Chain A
Amino acid sequence: DSGVTQTPKHLITATGQRVTLRCSPRSGDLSVYWYQQSLDQGLQFLIQYYNGEERAKGNILERFSAQQFPDLHSELNLSSLELGDSALYFCASSRPRVAIGTGELFFGEGSRLTVL
Chain B
Amino acid sequence: ELKVEQNPLFLSMQEGKNYTIYCNYSTTSDRLYWYRQDPGKSLESLFVLLSNGAVKQEGRLMASLDTKARLSTLHITAAVHDLSATYFCAVDGSGGGADGLTFGKGTHLIIQP
What is A's interface to B at a CB cutoff of 8 Å?
2, 31, 33, 35, 42-43, 45, 48, 50, 55-58, 88, 90, 92, 94, 97, 102-110, 112
The answer to whether B99 touches A107 (Cβ under 8 A) is no
CB-defined interface of B25-47 with A at 8 Å, one 1/0 digit per residue?
Answer: 00000010101000011111100
Which residues from chain B contact A2 at a C-beta distance below 8 Å?
Answer: 42, 44
29 A-B pairs with CB atoms under 8 Å apart are: A31-B99, A42-B106, A43-B103, A45-B95, A45-B96, A48-B98, A48-B100, A50-B99, A55-B98, A56-B94, A56-B96, A56-B100, A58-B94, A58-B100, A88-B40, A92-B43, A94-B99, A97-B99, A103-B33, A103-B92, A104-B33, A105-B43, A105-B90, A105-B101, A107-B35, A107-B43, A109-B42, A110-B41, A112-B40
- Min CB distance A39 to B, Å, is 11
The 5 closest A-B pairs by CB, nearest first: A56-B96, A56-B98, A43-B103, A107-B43, A55-B98
Q: How far is the CA of A90 from the CA of B40 in the complex (A)?
A: 11
Q: In whole angstroms, what is the CA distance A97 to B33 when docked? A: 14
| B-to-A contact residues, CB < 8 Å | 31, 33, 35, 40-45, 48, 50, 88, 90, 92, 94-106
Interface contacts (Cβ under 8 Å), in number, total 76
Would you call B42 and A43 a contact (CB within 8 A)? Answer: no
Docked-complex contact B31 and A109, CB < 8 angstroms: no
B98 to chain A, nearest CB (A): 4
Chain A nearest CB from B86 CB (Å) reads: 10
A102 near B50 with CB under 8 A, answer yes
B92 nearest CB neighbor, chain A only: A103
Given A48-B96, A103-B101, A109-B42, output 5 extra A-B contacts at Cβ < 8 Å. Answer: A48-B99, A48-B100, A50-B99, A56-B98, A103-B99
B25 → A minimal CB distance (Å): 14
With A56-B100, A103-B31, A104-B48 already in contact, the answer to whether A90 and B42 are too (CB < 8 A) is: yes
CA distance A55 to B97 in the complex (A): 9
* Nearest A-chain residue to B105, judged by Cβ: A42
> B50 contacts which chain A residues (CB < 8 A)?
102
Provide the residues of chain A in CB contact with B42, threshold 8 Å: 2, 90, 107-110
